[in-house]
Amino acid sequence: MLGMGIISPLIPVYASSLGATAAAVGLIFAGFSIGRAVISPVIGYWSDRIGRKPFIVAGLLASALVSLAYLWADSVPELIIVRLAHGAAGGIVFPVTQAYVGDISPHGKEGTWMGYYTASFFTAFAVGPLLGGILGDRFGPSAAFYTLSGLTFLGFLLSLILLPEVKNRQARSTMPRPSFAKMGQSGIVRGLFSYRLGTEMGWGIFFCFLPIVTGINLGMSSTQTGVLLTTNMLITSALMIPFGRLTDRFNRRWMVVIGGAMGFVQMAFTGFATEFWQLLVLVSFGGIGGAITSPAGSALAVEEGRKFGMATTITVITMAMSIGVAVGPIAGGALADISNVVWAFYFAAALSFIGISLFTWFSRPKSSS
């Protein structure tokens, strides 16, 4: 994730240097999520049947190799293909590693363990863009892609040598056979899928268009925009572990709703903000919400994964996130083109509200009668 964060601020510049239009840049960004969404359910199913380590190791090696392909892409179509391939490699690694942590999480401590895991993601991705900017300024974009490949290859070696297989921790006879049909009957799974789809569409729009609003509409510097984005992620990362522990003590369902509602407030009021400090308050508020909802949602996914297959369940929810991140900016951009970019944030808030509402409905306790 540190490597992914390093290249994130350089992709638009690299794409523009190849002659990409704004629409093409959006498609290039969406390519990673599309590749991940297509492959992750298949990988999750087979990971539940074969084990975790083979997929983690293979995915990391594939990611390291694909990272070098960015340097060979000399046209927009080639860059799109590389992004799709990189997303597919990520679709092998990300949900399976989350399933691995779910496998080894003690009963009743799922929130704590998933809090540690997700905190590492947010911390690395928050620090990465700063390092990427420094590398890009001093050595050019190629240095960032080499660094991404090197860090991922290091992860491959460490996993190959040090990571034990987890499938022997429980008898094969007691492990649930993956079933998409049975999973579809779970209100929690349907709720989490709906929540992730709606909220990730909203967040995709927010992070895509915030630089436009701050830079063009409000005349803020790139540094100020970077501070806003980094503040949001660092607050989430810093609070993820304590809120993960609270998740194991309080109602996880309501923590998802509360955290999601805070994110909705951030999106809904961004369009009204006219000062830097106002946006800083909003992204800080939303960062706290992310720290509340992420470990709670992950803990619920782990609980359902024990019933329907850990990786299968998690990859279905991950697929919803990938679709949301890919579709959200495209839909928000279309709305911005026919109206005003501020309306993209209202649209993002509406999508988030729908996701929260569907989660609340699907996950409601069943009547004992």
The predicted pLDDT at position 367 comes to: 59
Q: Kindly list the distances between the CA atom of residue 227 and the CA atoms of 159, 233, 284, in Å, as whole numbers in the listed order.
A: 33, 10, 11
The predicted pLDDT at position 369 comes to: 43
The predicted pLDDT at position 23 comes to: 66
The set of residues, in sequence order, having a beta carbon less than 8 Å from that of 226 and lying 6+ positions away, is: 129, 130, 133
Please write the tens of the pLDDT for every residue from 62-81. 999 999 999 888 888 999 99
Confidence band (pLDDT; 50, 70, 90) for 173? very low
The predicted pLDDT at position 360 comes to: 95
Nearest CA among 120, 127, 58 for reference residue 90: 58
Q: Which residues of 77-113 are buried (b: 16+ CB within 10 A; e: fewer)?
A: eebbebbbbbbbbbbbbbbbbbbbbbbebeeebbbbb
Q: What is the dihedral of CA 245, 249, 253, 258, to 10 degrees?
A: -70
Confidence band (pLDDT; 50, 70, 90) for 172? very low
Q: pTM of this prediction? A: 0.80
Please write the tens of the pLDDT for every residue from 270-282. 988 889 999 999 9
Q: Is 293 within 8 Å of 254 (Cβ atoms)?
A: no
Token digits of residue 71: 């340097």
Which of 18-22, 123-127, 247-251 bottoms out in mean pLDDT, i.e. has the lowest?
A: 18-22
Average pLDDT score over the chain: 85
The predicted pLDDT at position 12 comes to: 67
Reduced to 3 states, what is the DSSP secondary structure of residue 244?
Answer: helix
The domain spans of the chain are: 2-162+178-362
Please write the tens of the pLDDT for every residue from 10-30. 776 677 778 877 667 767 877
- The CATH topology of domain 2-162+178-362 is Growth Hormone; Chain: A; (1.20.1250)
Nearest CA among 90, 101, 27 for reference residue 59: 90
